[in-house]
Structure 1
Amino acid sequence: MKIARRVAAIAASGFICAGVAQAGPVETACLKSGSASASPAICTCIQYVADMTLSGSDQKMAAKFIKDPDRAQEIRTSDNAKHEAFWLRYKNFGETAETFCAQG
């Protein structure tokens, strides 16, 4: 059991180090947001979830929401089919990140 915890800790530290070296658009926007809750660990975790759930272009759009929250409202209420499909993916991303990256 202790070995499994150590392996998990080593894997997690490698994940965090790897995330710092190649910050994605969501992580970068998160870190630049100025939010008190936007710690490097949380932003790295959120980027990890973005990599699992969003395409590169979806990530760029999501990163824009951090800079311009009004844009999120425009996309969410749009009648455009592409925007509606994106919003479903974005909503899944947000729910997954909230669960996966929850602070302890």
Structure 2
Amino acid sequence: SAAAAGGRRLEDGLGAADPVQLAVYRVAWAKVRGVAVPDVDAAYFYVASGQVVRPPLLSEDEIVALLANPGAAAAAEAAAAAAGSPRLPGR
């Protein structure tokens, strides 16, 4: 069931959060810090509830493929749904 936290609706642990955006931030942070992307963890922390949500994150190659082929977003969403991951917001 959904729970309200900090004014955001959390469904399946994500609410308005976008796992693709989090994956992009993770890759960018790794590049800036000079570390390997797989060595960087990324999660959402909802202060009001104390909830930590760690969605499955795209790899750098998957992000590049998604940007090169915007139609791939539907395929990525279908794959995430098949794997039991929450839907991407706005889709």
TM-score by length of 1: 0.26
Larger radius of gyration: 1
Report which of the two has the higher share of helix: 1
Report which of the two has the higher share of strand: 2
TM-score by length of 2: 0.28
